[in-house]
Chains A and B, each alone.
Chain A
Amino acid sequence: VQLQESGPGLVKPSETLSLTCTVSGGSTSDYYWSWIRQPPGKGLEWIGFIYYSGSTNYNSSLQSRVTISLDTSKNQFSLRLSSVTAADTAVYYCARGTAVVGPADAYYFDLWGQGTPVTVSS
């Protein structure tokens, strides 16, 4: 299974960033399909996920601007981030989240895309 991000590498301030992740070699069932970003020289920031059932959850710091959707017919999931500013400049990764449910639940990302750089600039 492989993940591949696609979308514009340059977005103007105040506009909407849109990225798509294509899942090849497998289906979108049974996983948490997530977006994670990494600003230049900084750490990883989880943006949000969509479960294969369609339920979503987002980082509270971005929740008002983020939408993640899933297209099972195309084996793709997408990210939309509205009203972007320079602070949204980052490498954006899509990733597959796996859950192991038990007395304590384990959630981890076992598969990552190669990442796509997005710059917000006029």
Chain B
Amino acid sequence: SYELTQSPSVSVSPGHTATITCSGDKLGNKYACWYQQKPGQSPVLVIYQDSRRPSGIPERFSGSNSGNTATLAISGTQAMDEADYYCQAWDSSTWVFGGGTKLTVL
């Protein structure tokens, strides 16, 4: 079965750019999306189709996908961006999630 791998944790200073990666075999040939989940809340879609932002998601969230790696970047990171982030892709008619990355804003 297809697997997506994320680093367990990433730290960033306020105002700097946070980069969260997601790796999978030939992931660049698929579309990746990203969810943000804050404690006690449901996940929220922040990026879909590699780089598109849903309505209401700030412009500081951006995404890319090439080769074996999809990347979520958060520019000008704010304290409110501290959360768990999950990547997701579609493979063989199944939805696949990465293990999640905890973003800490120090």
Asked if B54 is at the interface (CB within 8 A of a chain A CB), the reply is yes
Contact (Cβ within 8 A) A106 B31: yes
Contact (Cβ within 8 A) A59 B48: no
In the complex, which of the residues A44, A105, A112 contacts B97, with contact meaning CB atoms closer than 8 Å? A44
Bound-state Cα–Cα, A60 to B1, Å: 9
Proximity bits, B88-102, A CB within 8 Å = 1, else 0: 101001111111100
Contact (Cβ within 8 A) B42 A106: no
Contact (Cβ within 8 A) B97 A45: yes
Asked if A49 is at the interface (CB within 8 A of a chain B CB), the reply is yes
Bound-state Cα–Cα, A45 to B33, Å: 15
Bound-state Cα–Cα, A82 to B95, Å: 21
Asked if A34 is at the interface (CB within 8 A of a chain B CB), the reply is yes
Contacts A108-B48, A108-B88 given: A43-B31 contact, CB under 8 Å? no
Closest-CB distance, A104 to chain B (whole angstroms): 6
Residues in A56-115 with C-beta less than 8 Å from chain B: 57, 59-60, 93, 97, 100, 104-110, 112-115
Contact (Cβ within 8 A) A43 B42: no
Nearest first, the 7 A-B pairs at minimum CB distance are: A106-B31, A107-B90, A108-B33, A46-B95, A112-B42, A43-B100, A108-B48
In the complex, which of the residues B29, B43, B95 contacts A97, with contact meaning CB atoms closer than 8 Å? B95
Residues in B41-58 with C-beta less than 8 Å from chain A: 42-45, 48-49, 54
* Besides A44-B97, A107-B95, 19 other A-B contacts (C-beta < 8 A): A43-B98, A43-B99, A44-B100, A46-B95, A49-B95, A57-B93, A60-B94, A93-B42, A97-B95, A100-B49, A106-B48, A106-B90, A108-B49, A109-B35, A109-B43, A109-B45, A109-B88, A110-B54, A113-B42
